[in-house]
Amino acid sequence: MAPKTSAKICGMGHSMKRKEDPRFLQGKGNYIDDFTLPGMLWLDIVRSPIAYGKIKNIDSSKALEIPGVLAVLTGKDLEAYNLHWMPTLMSDTQMVLPTDTVMYQAQEVAGVIATSRYAAADGVAAVEVEYEPMKPVMDPFKALEDDAPVLRTDKEGKTDNHIWHWEAGDKEATDKIFDEADVVVREKMHVPRIHVASIETCGCLADFNPVEGHLTVYMTTQAPHAIRTVLALVAGHVGLSEEKIRVVSPDIGGGFGGKVPVYPGYVIAIAASVVLGTPVKWIEDRMENLQADSFARDYHMDAEIAANADGRIRALRIKTIADHGYSDAQAAPSKWPAGLFSICTGSYDLEQAYAEVDAVYTNKPPGGVAYRCSFRVTEAVHCMERVVDTLAHKIGKDPAQLREENFIPKEAFPYHSPLGWEYDSGDYQAAMDKAKEMIGYDDLRREQAEKRARGELMGIGVCSFTEVLGAGPSKDFDILGIKMFDSAEVRVHPTGKAIARFGTKSQGQGHETTYAQIIAEELGLPAAHVQVEEGDTDTAPYGLGTYASRSTPTAGAAGAMAARAIRDKAAKIAAHLLEVSEEDLDWEPGTFSVKGAPDKSVSIQDCAFAAYTNLPPGMEPGMEATNYYDPPNLTFPFGTYICVVDIDRGTGEVSVRRFVAVDDCGNIINPMIVQGQIHGGLTQGIGPALYEEMTYDEDGNNQAGSFMDYLVPTAVETPAWETGHTVTPSPHHPLGAKGVGESATVGAPPAIANAVVDALAHLGVTHVEIPIRPDRVWEILREKGVAE
């Protein structure tokens, strides 16, 4: 689609170079660890070496003898202020610091405050903690057995490790279809516990001014406004009041959902600053980050589909056990404990579906962040896309063809899914056609047949996903009661330049550029003249932040609506300046002209100047607007991914030879940035598909607690991604956009897993668990007698 605006204005559709780049490229970004304040102290944290046990004693005396160590804070110290526990975003509770029991390895046990980061680390090493270890419960299925020890003894009346049950769909009607179906296929699968592993870890600098009772917290947060409210709610009793709390989220070195929750380290730093009256900084190191926070997934799913003999899919049934670790600390909308898992029927037109999830406590760190995922969409898509392939192999139909025969047809939109969603728009066949054409699908199938005849292992994997984004409409979506709208405030200065502030917070998505393009699109001001700001709760309008691909669907829409309100005012001013009525004006981006007399015109900049200098009688001066956008529905981006893998029969190694991703995210704001989002998401998809998993031994020891063992893809493993797109605008979003940040993370793992299974299907293999490590594949090859 050709852009509507000129390259000078640079509205939607232009691949504008990013405004944030020059500072990042010259070492002038401002990330959390770059902040220092006079008198600043350092917090470092003593962590539990065991997964479960009683704390018999904490002896700080040797630590306090170390020069520079000023204080050691324990759970007992925080208990005096009733700050030793905190609520999670899912209305569960979590220890800030323990008073008697540790529940997972690397749990925070004490905080050491010192004058330097080295002294603080010395202090941590010198704190002596005596534990009485207990046998941890690491397996969520065992945690549900009758004789399992009850882990959350802090919760009054708790008699088991079950957290909640969630279900969607008509069980009876679904079961009936299964009973009468020609074909039923079933696959059990685990989407393992993984970690966001943003290259910047978490941290904060808490600065309490005891004279004014004012707290400023600079912190790595994707949701600064919500954090401010949470701080006011949980620390109101110690005198922190919302108007005296300022949260500043600076440049963030990757978030991916891991910087949404409140971790104990933040709270300890804030508590220390309040108690000591001096700034306190806490910066997590990589091992703390990998071992204690930012976990995602860990869904054990048992999925079945019922179909006609010809492959027409009729129903889906999924039973899931969700391992949340020690506390339900996921970041999901309040009414959606299993997130948006009910998108699991995906791109297919089913008669019925029934999905259920049971959440379980174990002795793992609290988990469930929405890692580059709109709340459990990744798990849902993996499940459906894998089991569709199982059906294809069972009935001997090409997996792409089976998908095409079951797609929701484009005439059926808006489509009502059996689990209650109203899909806004889609053209799934178009994305499939484009992906097949780009990769040369039919040729690849011929090549595969030839290679198979020679004994070579080559697989082609297809995934046609549908996502659900943009949480969300206030009738259904809130976090701790706060509705999930988002906001924009746009102010045009007399010289025709503007500042636009938003309730979201970029972590690399390029909001300073794309939001400016949205304003440029609507107002005709050059995007270069629009300064975008986010992340400071003192200046930005209230919003719920950036995660779950919600920025474009919510705050982006708010920006467009605010800009339109300004344009409406500008039209009245233009009519006044041109001495015509408003109805006699034409609008081209940036210019109002008189109908039939195009040389009689005024620019948007002229209107801005007049808003401060030469107003129509009775008009309020100034040129600004604020919009709080409550979306009428979610958005449903989709795409088809096809990849080719080759498997080494000697080592079991899977190499991704080619990967084509065709995405449809509606209208595109900046094609360069959209492509970059896809590239990054695909790489965060190949990670869990082939390499990444956070594993524990039966004693609860983390076995992937550094980058030595938690294998993030490097440039060598990552293929040269090939991308394409189709455009099916959202009918309800003001810009027709849908959001794109997470599609690739969601769509890539099943495409790769399907390719590996496809390479092995003729050997009778129907499923391989992710991550598909060489040893897993080699075991299969050995079992099937084809290992070299």
Partner 1 sequence: MATHQITVTVNGAAHAATVDSRLLLVHLIRDDLALTGTHIGCDTTHCGACTVLMDGVPVKSCTVLAVQADGAELGTVEGLAGADGMTPLQEGFQEEHGLQCGFCTPGMLMTGTALLESNPNPSEAEIREAISGNLCRCTGYVNIVKAVEYAAGKMGEGD
Residues contributing to the site for partner 1 (CB under 8 A): 17-18, 20-29, 31, 33-34, 117-118, 196-201, 251-256, 285-287, 507-510, 672-673, 675-676, 678-684, 706-708, 712, 714-716, 718, 720-721
> Which C-beta is closer to partner 1: that of 82 or that of 706?
706
> Which C-beta is closer to partner 1: that of 24 or that of 587?
24
**Is 373 an annotated catalytic residue?**
yes
**How does DSSP classify residue 702?**
B
> Which C-beta is closer to partner 1: that of 350 or that of 751?
751
Q: Which one is catalytic: 372, 501, 567, 773?
A: 372
Tell me the C-alpha distance between 753 and 763, whole Å.
Answer: 16
Q: How far is the CB of 362 from partner 1 (least distance, A)?
A: 27
> Which C-beta is closer to partner 1: that of 479 or that of 656?
656
> Which C-beta is closer to partner 1: that of 251 or that of 304?
251
Cβ atoms of 12 and 4 within 8 Å: the answer is yes
Within its chain, how far is the Cα of 37 from the centroid? 32
Q: How far is the CB of 675 from partner 1 (least distance, A)?
A: 8
**Is 372 an annotated catalytic residue?**
yes
Q: Which of 110, 109, 124 is nearest to 68 (CA)?
A: 124
DSSP per position, 72-122: EEEHHHHHTTT-SEEE-TTS-EEESS-SSEE-STT-EEEEEEESSHHHHHH
- Number of Cβ within 10 Å of residue 411's Cβ equals 7
> Which C-beta is closer to partner 1: that of 345 or that of 513?
513
Q: Give the 3-state DSSP-derived string for 17-31, with helices as H, strands as E and coil as C.
A: CCCCHHHHHCCCCCC
Q: How far is the CB of 526 from partner 1 (least distance, A)?
A: 18
Tell me the C-alpha distance between 725 and 13, whole Å.
Answer: 13
Tell me the C-alpha distance between 441 and 644, whole Å.
Answer: 10
Q: How far is the CB of 753 from partner 1 (least distance, A)?
A: 19
Cβ atoms of 285 and 175 within 8 Å: the answer is no
Cβ atoms of 20 and 270 within 8 Å: the answer is no
Tell me the C-alpha distance between 232 and 240, whole Å.
Answer: 6
Within its chain, how far is the Cα of 481 from the centroid? 20
Q: Which one is catalytic: 344, 693, 742, 773?
A: 742
Tokens standing for 666?
Answer: 């509606």
Q: How far is the CB of 198 from partner 1 (least distance, A)?
A: 6
Angstrom CA distances, 498 to 4, 483, 506, 513, 516, stand at 20, 28, 19, 13, 9
Q: How far is the CB of 716 from partner 1 (least distance, A)?
A: 5
Tell me the C-alpha distance between 127 and 624, whole Å.
Answer: 56
> Which C-beta is closer to partner 1: that of 211 or that of 720?
720
Sheet holding 597-603, edge to edge: 585-588, 591-594, 597-603
> Which C-beta is closer to partner 1: that of 328 or that of 512?
512
Q: Which residues contact 447 (CB under 8 A, 6 or more apart)?
A: 458
Using DSSP, how many helices (H) and how many strands (E) does the chain show? 19, 32
CA angle 750, 753, 755 (to 5 degrees): 110
- Say how many Å lie between the first and final Cα of the chain, rounded: 51
Name 585's bridge partners.
594
Q: Which one is catalytic: 204, 373, 643, 665?
A: 373
Q: How far is the CB of 59 from partner 1 (least distance, A)?
A: 24
Q: Which one is catalytic: 105, 222, 517, 677?
A: 222
Tokens standing for 186?
Answer: 């079933």
> Which C-beta is closer to partner 1: that of 341 or that of 515?
515
Tell me the C-alpha distance between 300 and 753, whole Å.
Answer: 16
Cβ atoms of 66 and 123 within 8 Å: the answer is yes
Q: How far is the CB of 260 from partner 1 (least distance, A)?
A: 16
Q: Can you tell me which residue has the tokens 């080592």?
A: 651
Q: How far is the CB of 143 from partner 1 (least distance, A)?
A: 31
Q: How far is the CB of 273 from partner 1 (least distance, A)?
A: 20
Tally the residues of the chain.
788
Sign of CA dihedral 261, 276, 107, 99: negative
> Which C-beta is closer to partner 1: that of 60 or that of 684?
684
Residues with catalytic function: 222, 372-373, 742
